[in-house]
Amino acid sequence: MSGLYIHIPFCRQKCRYCDFASFAGAEDLTDDYLSALEKEASFYPSFAADTLYIGGGTPSLLSAAQLEKLCGLIARRFAPLGIFQESTLEANPESLTKEKLRLLKDAGLNRLSLGLQSFDDGVLKRIGRVHDVKTFLSAYGAAREAGFDNISVDLIAGLPGQTKEMFLQGLKKLADLKPEHISVYGLQVEEGTPFYKEGVQADEDLLRAELEETHRLLQAAGYVHYEISNFALPGRESRHNLNYWQNGEYLGLGSAAASYLNGVRRSNVPDVREYLRRISAGENPAEFAERLTGKAKEGEAVMLGLRMLGGVRLSDAQKRLFAGEIQDLVRRGLVEQNGDFIKLTFEGIFLANQAFMAFVGPFEEACR
């Protein structure tokens, strides 16, 4: 299985927690950017993908005409959107119009990912979102009316100004809407973000409590907790993301987009103008590339697989290379092992980064 990721870096306003490669006030570059995407796509004439994910940034910020152009270049260079097993577009409520929804549905898009983040208007304002709850509910309803029967919604736990009770009330309201997929991320305050500069700190105890209750509440509502941050109604897991966690190949197009092809991981330059310059000059837009080997390669495969709560089957090489690390994780109660399979324990779900570190280099074998 393989995936195609297309990055749209433009936003109306940068959220206060966001450290993604996204930019506000650069929408005048959008048409040139779409042309550059098609040129970069031409570098891979034989690439075929099973899934498509259009992320950002805010892809729904594109005008209807620009979205039509984007769908057209995907169809010309790869396949019409309806041919992919799963085709997803990330959207923010305030920029998702009925016209855009009709266009995307007619083009064959079969999945939407809506960024809600909180069910409280005061919290939304505090974190720099430009929509309110009413706007989200309107966009969600319009998406259903347009025929979208596979919708994912994002929430963030541990936000400043949001109590545990507020978070859980919002989560219950969201579960009552029955989106097919819900992603719940814990707040991370990254260097360089407005929150970091303001000295905002995540309350780890509150975050843990909210995430534990999320697990219980959503399972009781019929959702499968299939990945650390992701819940789905049965059969509605994100196929595109499963490909990442199963260490499958994927091609990323656009500024800051990452790829994994033929054993090589690479990422494009994050600066939009530098990306445009390189593509216009026929230069490679990648700023980083590496081929993992030996223990580093096997460790990354295990780490990615452990994100899935069903666990990962270990190869003979992985069992041999990480026997000591796995034994230590079992002793610490973070991982359980059953034959060739290992998976995170309930405790391990909330301390996953500690478990992952056992499989992250540098290892001597990777330098040979």
What's the pLDDT score for residue 202?
79
**pLDDT tens by residue, 276-315:** 999 999 999 999 999 989 999 999 999 999 999 999 999 9
Q: For residues 44 and 5, what is the distance between their CA atoms, to the nearest angstrom?
A: 13
What's the pLDDT score for residue 18?
72
Listed residue (54, 187, 203, 62) closest to 117, CA to CA: 187
**pLDDT tens by residue, 28-59:** 899 999 999 999 999 999 999 999 999 999 99
**pLDDT tens by residue, 169-183:** 999 999 999 999 999
What's the pLDDT score for residue 327?
97
Across the range 61-81, mean pLDDT stands at: 97
Q: For residues 272 and 141, what is the distance between their CA atoms, to the nearest angstrom?
A: 34
**pLDDT tens by residue, 120-149:** 999 999 888 888 999 999 999 999 999 999
Q: For residues 56 and 58, what is the distance between their CA atoms, to the nearest angstrom?
A: 5
What's the pLDDT score for residue 303?
96
What's the pLDDT score for residue 284?
94
Listed residue (108, 93, 217, 80) closest to 157, CA to CA: 217
Mean pLDDT of the chain: 93
Where do the CATH 3.20.20.70 domains begin and end in the chain? Answer: 2-244
Full 3-state SS string of the chain: CEEEEEEECEECCCCCCCCCCCEECCHHHHHHHHHHHHHHHCCCCCCCCCEEEEEECCHHHCCHHHHHHHHHHHHHHCCCHHHCCEEEEEECHHHCCHHHHHHHHHHCCCEEEEEEECCCHHHHHHCCCCCCHHHHHHHHHHHHHCCCCCEEEEEEECCCCCCHHHHHHHHHHHHHHCCCEEEEEECCCCCCCHHHHHCCCCCHHHHHHHHHHHHHHHHHCCCEEEECCEEECCCCCCHHHHHHHCCCEEEEECCCCEEEECCEEEEECCCHHHHHHHHHCCCCCEEEEEECCHHHHHHHHHHHHHCECCCEECCHHHHHHCHHHHHHHHHCCCEEEECCEEEECHHHHHCHHHHHHHHCCCCHHHHC
Q: For residues 52 and 73, what is the distance between their CA atoms, to the nearest angstrom?
A: 13
pLDDT at 366 over 60: no
pLDDT at 25 over 90: no
Q: What angle do CA 248, 353, 50 make, to 5 degrees?
A: 15
Q: For residues 226 and 240, what is the distance between their CA atoms, to the nearest angstrom?
A: 14
What's the pLDDT score for residue 203?
85
What's the pLDDT score for residue 363?
55
CA trace torsion 69, 75, 78, 80 (10° rounding): 130
CATH number of 294-367: 1.10.10.920
Q: For residues 228 and 347, what is the distance between their CA atoms, to the nearest angstrom?
A: 12
Query: What is the chain's length?
Result: 368
Across the range 138-164, mean pLDDT stands at: 96
Where do the CATH 1.10.10.920 domains begin and end in the chain? Answer: 294-367
What's the pLDDT score for residue 12?
85
β-bridge partners, 290: 265
Q: For residues 38 and 172, what is the distance between their CA atoms, to the nearest angstrom?
A: 42
Across the range 92-116, mean pLDDT stands at: 97
pLDDT > 90: percent of the chain: 84
**pLDDT tens by residue, 226-285:** 999 999 999 999 999 999 999 999 999 999 999 999 999 999 999 999 999 999 999 999
* CATH topology classification for 2-244: TIM Barrel (3.20.20)
- Parallel, antiparallel, or unpaired for β 2-8 and 249-253? parallel
